[in-house]
């Protein structure tokens, strides 16, 4: 690919801009290797230091990554808007797309009645002076968080979980700082960490969440933040148990300066109780998004934490985006108050539970190991991701390769159960068993 695209420039800024242009136009696709530093330097007639500086700038922006002996390459999901994503091949015509990681839109509540009621209700015009967190939303969210053992004294609202995580990391960390993340981990989080110029420190996970030993090892490297998924971990479906939370709190007592960020994106869709780490360190934040239970377009997440941490996020938002639309907040309040919506979300939770459990049992019947205690995803450790993904595509199933979720952990595939019908589970499990072909590993941690 680099043979078809000529990188140009005589300064580090020009060279990095040329590479970014190639990524933006699709001439340099994700995974494309860049020329070795000295080779490109000789070709451009500049010093190796100039090219190295350009590559460093691209790494700090998350556009490229260092691949060990394989040199430097374009990241799988670079933070550059392009006309062609290059992230994965579209599923074949007629194939069942199990790679998206999104909820079953057939189970997402309809907003029609709530929107109609909001349109007719008299309201106070929102101005720059009175905008912010709606008192009604804060009241309901506080009650829900308190019922789960999370202190809601300090609370704000962000535009979804990832927006909250980004604001928290930006407010507490600087480029080059280390942040402990689960491995495997949410692909968007891995990309965000790279984009912010932070160094990810992988933490192995099992069915009960991050392991205490791996957590201690990561924090001992000097990591300044630790991001944990409390339930429905993406991609493994892990959930922090009460026993694991106690063990992790014991580890965290030795690192009181670490910012602990908890992502409870599944919220009402999780069938297991919350075991939170809130308050285990001086700086902490707990995020609960509404996107999975109520629909991806509801970009609202409640953020609770210690007073200083919440104040930093709210302050940064005030001088930037300002606030999360009170129209969206009002819609969330209406959905929370509607008992019929609550019943629909509970039914969705039970449906995901049935499909995920059914798939895992069917896989086990074929001798295929998998994980997934909660949520909408099942993780299957494999010996060869490319072989497994390709074989399943040939049989009419699109699944996500584990490479976009991993730092150091072993290979695997992620299967989203949202599109599955009951009749799909048996044939899919048999197809996975054939695709794995005896290459499955018994662990998803390095």
| 112-339 CATH, one of 3.40.250.10, 3.30.420.40, 3.50.50.60, 3.40.640.10 | 3.40.640.10
Q: How far apart are CA 232 and CA 371, in angstroms?
A: 11
Is residue 446 pLDDT above 60, yes or no? no
- How far apart, in Å, are the Cα atoms of 390 and each of 24, 36, 401, 413? 27, 30, 10, 11
User: Helix or strand or coil: residue 352?
Assistant: helix
Going by pLDDT thresholds of 50, 70 and 90, the confidence category of residue 442 is: very low
**Beta strand 178-183 with 199-206: parallel, antiparallel or unpaired?**
parallel
Preceding amide of 43 cis, omega within 30: no
Q: What is the CATH number of domain 12-74?
A: 1.10.10.10
Upper half-sphere CA count for residue 18 (Cβ side, 13 Å) = 18
Is residue 202 pLDDT above 60, yes or no? yes
Is residue 4 pLDDT above 90, yes or no? no
Quick one: CA torsion of 216, 220, 222, 228, rounded to 10 degrees? -10
**Of 23, 444, 396, whose CA–CA distance to 233 is shortest?**
444
Encoding tokens for residue 269? 């869709």
The architecture CATH gives domain 96-106+343-436:
Alpha-Beta Complex (3.90)
pLDDT digits (tens, 9 = 90+) for 238-258: 999 999 999 999 999 999 999
pLDDT digits (tens, 9 = 90+) for 390-411: 999 999 999 999 989 999 999 9
- How far apart, in Å, are the Cα atoms of 404 and each of 60, 165, 184, 356, 409? 18, 19, 9, 22, 11
Encoding tokens for residue 369? 């190991």
Mean pLDDT for the stretch of residues 334-362: 94
- The residue ranges of every structural domain in the chain are 12-74, 96-106+343-436, 112-339
pLDDT digits (tens, 9 = 90+) for 27-69: 888 888 999 899 898 889 999 899 989 988 888 888 888 876 7
Per-residue pLDDT at 323: 83
Which residues lie closer than 8 Å to 313 by C-beta, 6 or more apart? 156, 158, 164, 167, 168, 171, 285, 303, 305
Per-residue pLDDT at 199: 92
Per-residue pLDDT at 433: 96
Q: Are 165 and 263 in contact (CB under 8 A)?
A: yes
* Rg from Cα positions in the chain: 23
Backbone angles phi, psi at 377, to 5 degrees: -125, 150
Which residues lie closer than 8 Å to 44 by C-beta, 6 or more apart? 7, 8, 9, 10, 15, 51
Which residues lie closer than 8 Å to 12 by C-beta, 6 or more apart? 50, 51, 53, 54, 57
**Of 181, 203, 218, 281, whose CA–CA distance to 444 is shortest?**
203
Encoding tokens for residue 397? 């199933």
Q: How far is CA 33 from the centre of its chain?
A: 25
Q: How far apart are CA 393 and CA 9, in angstroms?
A: 41
Going by pLDDT thresholds of 50, 70 and 90, the confidence category of residue 82 is: low
In this structure, what DSSP letter does residue 421 have?
-
Mean pLDDT for the stretch of residues 20-24: 88
Q: Between these two residues, 141 and 296, which has the higher pLDDT value?
A: 141
Going by pLDDT thresholds of 50, 70 and 90, the confidence category of residue 159 is: very high
Q: Are 20 and 7 in contact (CB under 8 A)?
A: no
pLDDT digits (tens, 9 = 90+) for 251-301: 999 999 999 999 999 999 998 999 999 999 999 999 999 988 998 888 999
């Amino acid at each position: 690919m680099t043979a078809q695209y000529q990188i140009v420039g005589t300064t580090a800024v020009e060279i990095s801009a040329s590479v970014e242009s190639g990524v933006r136009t699709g001439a340099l696709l994700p995974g494309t290797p860049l020329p070795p530093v000295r080779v490109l330097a000789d070709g451009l007639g500049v010093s190796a230091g100039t090219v190295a500086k350009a590559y460093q700038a691209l790494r700090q922006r998350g556009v490229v990554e260092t691949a060990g002996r394989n040199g430097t390459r374009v990241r799988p999901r670079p933070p550059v808007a392009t006309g062609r994503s290059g992230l994965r091949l579209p599923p074949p015509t007629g194939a069942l797309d199990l790679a998206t990681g999104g909820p079953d839109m057939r189970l997402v509540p309809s907003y029609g009645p709530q929107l109609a009621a909001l349109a007719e209700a008299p309201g106070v015009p929102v101005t720059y002076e009175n905008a912010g967190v709606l008192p009604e939303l804060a009241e309901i969210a506080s009650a829900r968080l308190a019922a789960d053992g999370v202190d809601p004294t300090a609370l704000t609202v962000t535009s979804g979980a990832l927006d909250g995580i980004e604001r928290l990391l930006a407010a507490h960390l600087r480029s080059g700082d280390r942040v402990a993340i689960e491995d495997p981990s949410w692909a968007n989080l891995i990309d965000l960490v790279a984009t912010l110029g932070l160094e990810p420190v992988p933490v192995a996970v099992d069915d009960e969440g991050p392991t205490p030993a791996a957590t201690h090892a990561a924090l001992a490297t000097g990591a300044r933040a630790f991001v944990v998924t409390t339930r429905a971990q993406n991609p493994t479906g892990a959930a922090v148990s009460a026993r694991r939370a106690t063990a992790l709190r014991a580890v965290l007592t030795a690192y009181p300066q670490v910012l602990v960020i908890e992502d409870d994106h599944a919220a009402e869709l999780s069938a297991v109780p919350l075991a939170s780490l809130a308050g285990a360190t001086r700086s902490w934040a707990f995020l609960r998004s509404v996107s999975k239970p109520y629909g991806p377009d509801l970009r609202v997440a409640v953020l609770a934490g210690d007073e200083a941490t919440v104040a930093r996020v709210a302050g940064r938002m005030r001088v930037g985006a300002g606030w999360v639309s009170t129209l969206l907040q009002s819609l969330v309040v209406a959905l929370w108050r509607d008992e019929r919506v609550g019943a629909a979300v509970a039914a969705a939770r039970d449906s995901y539970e049935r499909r995920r459990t059914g798939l895992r049992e069917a896989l086990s019947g074929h001798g295929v190991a998998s994980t997934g205690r909660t949520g909408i995803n099942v993780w299957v450790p494999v010996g060869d991701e490319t072989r497994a993904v390709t074989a399943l595509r040939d049989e009419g199933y699109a699944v996500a390769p584990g490479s976009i979720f991993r730092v150091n952990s072993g290979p695997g595939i992620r299967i989203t159960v949202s599109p599955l019908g009951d009749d799909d589970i048996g044939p899919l499990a048999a197809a996975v068993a054939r695709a794995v072909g005896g290459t499955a590993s018994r662990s998803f941690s390095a």
